Amino acid sequence: MCLSESLDDNDPHKFEKGLAKINAQLTIVTTGGSVFAVFGISLVILGVTTGLDAISKTDEVGKVLSIVGNVYSEFGIVIFIIGVIVLLIAQFQIPKKIDKL
């Protein structure tokens, strides 16, 4: 085991391996953040559509659809903000990791 550990310290491809790991991390984080942001926008659109549909319904059905539309919209905004925050964190953290290489 000592021989393999010493080989890892002198690995000529250490920089490339580190850069590949950072690239994989960046891909995962940006994909996840983008999915969250798009899912949030989709929920907002669903909430607005449900709210607009509630206008044409009768009393009880309209109230229920209005509440559901508001919940979808608010939840969608929160999910969208989380996705954008993840993307912003990745934007500032990944260059710092690359500089440490």
pLDDT tens digits along 36-68:
999 999 999 999 998 888 888 888 888 888 888
How crowded is residue 26: how many other Cβ atoms within 10 Å of its Cβ?
Answer: 16
Instruction: Return the amino acid letter for 82.
Output: I
Predicted confidence (pLDDT) at residue 11 exceeds the cutoff of 50: yes
Predicted confidence band at 5 (pLDDT cuts at 50, 70, 90)? very low
Query: How far is 96 from 85, CA to CA, in rounded Å?
Result: 17
pLDDT tens digits along 65-98:
888 899 999 999 999 999 999 999 988 888 787 7
Count Cβ atoms within 10 A of the Cβ of residue 43 and give its class: 0-12 exposed, 13-18 middle, 19 or more buried. Answer: buried
Predicted confidence (pLDDT) at residue 25 exceeds the cutoff of 70: yes
